[in-house]
């Protein structure tokens, strides 16, 4: 009954459990909402402390994908999957084959992609068992590394924020503090350097940050000092949950705009940013470039088309800001409302959308 209560809270459609004794596979798929189309979301391979933790994570992530796809203007629903175990020791080719067979039984209602603990090579193995997979290697007509497109979307979302705050979309002369020098952070730094922005960088692995310093003339600061760095834009591109009471008080910026998922420790921290006069670009809106990128594989991948659609994140962030101002609500609430309104409009023509979704699945997978 606890599981059904959780599902009823945000109206989840399905929560499916898979196990395969021979490979020690334990996996869960959550499908939140398919009003706009088949659910698409990554597979997270993680050593969860309990089954409950795995269920909580997959439900939260699946709902987030519904909202991300909606505000990105994609005709896709939200879903996610998790495999319980340490990917460094537990992952085997046989296990991924078993997982792929289970995904195939869902008949295209859920399309899997890479996430934490999985990569394009894993998707290639899963693809041997099911066509319901994206995020494949470029050698297999896939989209490959999504980081450049994710960063490109963040760049354009950032420009929508600077237009609102500073009345300028050119980032030249502005200072951006990037937390995290991983794939997305490095690509974002490259775009910012081209724009002529001043870059401050940090990473828990100093070697990664040093690469950005060497290539783009960025200034390095220690990880704990990034929050208090004087800048125009603070860009979290690493861990989630970093915008809490303590760190928000340290911020010396006008805008928070980055690629990290679940940046707000709790919803009330979105309110706190508003109270401090800091414009927050909701994470699932500004970081949708990765989803946009893999979604392009469904009709035949084209990098230029993916970048073009990721650039539209500028418009999505601008709409969020307008809704927030008109309705006098924080931007994180405005983003949810924008996503929910698109889904509600689609529900009114659900028969039409359902027919289109089924036709899309048949076109792609048969």
Q: Which residues are catalytic?
A: 80
> What does DSSP say about strands 279-280 and 255-256: parallel, antiparallel, or unpaired?
parallel
> Is the dihedral angle over the CA atoms 133, 137, 143, 146 positive or is it negative?
positive
For residue 228, report the phi and psi dihedrals to the nearest 5 degrees.
-95, 5
> What does DSSP say about strands 175-179 and 25-33: parallel, antiparallel, or unpaired?
unpaired
271's tokens: 């309110």
Contact 295, 150 (CB under 8 A): no
For residue 318, report the phi and psi dihedrals to the nearest 5 degrees.
-60, -40
User: b/e map of 313-336 (b: 16 or more CB within 10 Å)?
Assistant: bbebbbbbbebbeeeebbbbbbbb
Residue with tokens 């899997």: 112
In angstroms, rounded to a whole number, what is the distance separating the alpha carbons of residues 42 and 358?
21
Contact 174, 198 (CB under 8 A): yes
Residue closest to 82 by CA, chosen among 97, 103, 68, 66: 103
**How many beta carbons lie within 10 A of that of residue 204, not counting itself?**
13
CA angle 261, 74, 263 (to 5 degrees): 10
Please enumerate in sequence order all residues whose Cβ is within 8 A of that of 67, keeping only pairs 6 or more positions apart, or say none: 78, 284, 335, 336, 339, 340
């Amino acid at each position: 009954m606890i599981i059904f209560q959780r599902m009823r809270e945000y109206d989840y459609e399905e929560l499916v459990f898979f196990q395969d004794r021979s490979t020690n596979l334990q996996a869960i798929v959550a499908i939140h909402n398919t009003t706009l189309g088949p659910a698409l979301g990554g597979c997270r391979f993680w050593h969860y402390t309990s089954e409950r933790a795995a269920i909580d994570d997959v439900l939260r992530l699946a709902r987030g994908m519904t909202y991300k796809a909606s505000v990105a203007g994609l005709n896709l629903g939200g879903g996610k999957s998790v495999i319980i175990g340490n990917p460094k020791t537990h992952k085997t080719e046989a296990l991924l084959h078993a997982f792929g067979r289970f995904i195939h039984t869902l008949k295209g209602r859920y399309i899997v992609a890479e996430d934490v603990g999985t990569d394009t090579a894993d998707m290639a193995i899963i693809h041997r068992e099911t066509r319901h997979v994206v995020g494949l290697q470029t050698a297999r007509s896939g989209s490959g590394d999504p980081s450049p497109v994710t960063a490109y979307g963040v760049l354009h979302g950032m420009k929508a924020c600077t237009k609102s705050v500073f009345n300028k979309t050119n980032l030249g002369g502005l200072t951006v503090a990037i937390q995290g020098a991983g794939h997305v952070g490095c690509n974002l730094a490259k775009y910012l350097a081209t724009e002529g922005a001043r870059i401050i960088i940090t990473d828990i692995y100093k070697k990664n940050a040093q690469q950005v310093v060497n290539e783009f003339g960025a200034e390095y600061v220690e990880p704990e000092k990034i929050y208090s760095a004087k800048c125009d834009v603070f860009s979290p591109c690493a861990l989630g949950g970093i915008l809490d009471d303590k760190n928000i008080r340290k911020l010396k910026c006008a805008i928070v705009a980055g690629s990290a998922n679940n940046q707000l420790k709790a919803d009330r921290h979105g309110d706190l940013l508003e109270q401090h006069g800091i414009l927050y670009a909701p994470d699932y809106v500004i970081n949708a470039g990765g989803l946009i990128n893999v979604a392009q594989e469904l009709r035949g991948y084209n990098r230029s088309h993916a970048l073009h659609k990721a650039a539209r994140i500028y418009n999505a962030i601008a709409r969020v800001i307008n809704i927030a101002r008109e309705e006098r609500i924080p931007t994180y609430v405005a983003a949810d409302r924008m996503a929910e309104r698109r889904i509600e409009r689609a529900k009114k023509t659900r028969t039409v959308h359902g027919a289109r979704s089924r036709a899309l699945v048949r076109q792609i997978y048969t």
